[in-house]
Amino acid sequence: MPSKSIQFQKVGIMGKPRSQEAAETIKILHDHLVEEGCDIWLQDSLPESLHSKHTQPTSRKEMGKLVDLVVVVGGDGSMLNAGRYLVQHEVPLVGINRGHLGFLTDVRPTEVRERISEVLRGQYNQENRFILHTEVYRNQERIGRSDAVNELVLYPGEIARMLEFELFIDNQFVYSQRSDGLIVSTPTGSTAYALSGGGPIISPKIDAMVLVPMFPHTLSSRPIVIDANSHIEIAISSNNQHYPMVSCDGQVNIGLAPGDIIGIKKHPLPLKILHPESHDYYEVLRTKLGWGQKL
C-alpha cells in the first residue's frame, strides 16, 4: 500500500529518448517510484526497455491530463520541451540532470532516491516561472503560435543577411532596427541565449522580460528590460528580400514573410518547478558560470 504521507501519487516520467545516461537514471527512478507505491506514466517515445508492468505509456501532449507531478530526466532542453507541453495543465515539474549545464534540472543523478522521496512527501521549494506566448499574423490571419520557456528569437533565416523590423511595446513605437535579429527572453532564459548576446542575468523572482538586439547595425542599440505584463509587437519590414524565422526555445520554428506581425505576451499560467529544499539559485550561478567562491 502507498504511504499516506506521499503528496504526489500519480507521477509522470519524461526524458531524452535516445540518451543512454538518461535511460539509466530513468530505470533507477522507475524502481524507486514502484517502491514508493506510485502510479507511473511513462513518455511513450522512451525506449521500450524502460516500460514495464508498472507503467502506463502516454504522449507528451496527454501527460499533463493524467498525473500530479512530472519528473524530467535530461538536460535543460528536456525541461524546456516538457514545460511547453505541461504549463497549460499546471502540473509541477522536477528535473534530474543528465545534460550539460543543468540550470533547470538541479537533482543530481546520484541523489535520485533521496531527493525524489523528499519531493513526494512535500519537502521542496516551488518556483513559479512565467513563460512567453507568441502568435504570428499575416494579413490579419494567425498563421502560427507557440510558447517559450526561455526565449523567442527573431533571426534572418539565412547567413549574412541583415533583418529589418519595427518594435512596439504596449502599442507604443520603440524603434526600427537593422540587425541579425532580436532575442525576447524570460528571467529563466536570461542565463541562456540572451546572456550570450550580452543581456543581463535576471533573477527568476523578478517579473520582467529582456529584449536583446543581435549584432545591431547601430552601436547605440542596447538590451532593454521591461515589465513582464507588457505586450510586444514586432513588425517585419516589407523591405526585407528574404524570409526570416522566429524560434521558440530553439525547438519550435515558425517561418515568416515580409509584412508579418509577431505578437508576444506573458502566458496566463505559470510554469511550476519544484526544487529540493537545499536548492540555492546563486550557488547554481557560481557553479555554472565559474564565479568566485566565498573566501
- The reported pLDDT for the residue numbered 56 is 97
- The reported pLDDT for the residue numbered 1 is 42
Partners of 43 in the β-ladder: 58
What strands, in cross-sheet order, belong to the sheet with 141-148? 141-148, 132-138, 261-266, 232-236, 163-169, 172-179
| Residue 61: DSSP 8-state | H
- The reported pLDDT for the residue numbered 242 is 87
* CA distance linking residue 109 with residue 115, whole number of Å: 10
**Averaged pLDDT score across all residues of the chain:** 94
- The reported pLDDT for the residue numbered 159 is 74
- The reported pLDDT for the residue numbered 3 is 47
Contacts of 130 (CB under 8 A, 6+ apart): 186, 207, 228, 266, 267, 270, 271
**pLDDT tens-digit readout, 10-54:** 999 999 888 899 999 999 999 999 999 999 999 999 999 999 999
**pLDDT tens-digit readout, 126-164:** 999 999 999 999 999 999 999 999 999 999 987 778 999
- The reported pLDDT for the residue numbered 140 is 95
Catalytic residue among 44, 68, 76, 227: 76
Contact 168, 233 (CB under 8 A): yes
Q: Quick check: is 180 catalytic?
A: no
Ordered structural domains, the chain, with CATH: 10-129+270-289 (3.40.50.10330), 132-266 (2.60.200.30)
Low-confidence ranges of the chain (pLDDT < 70): 1-4, 295
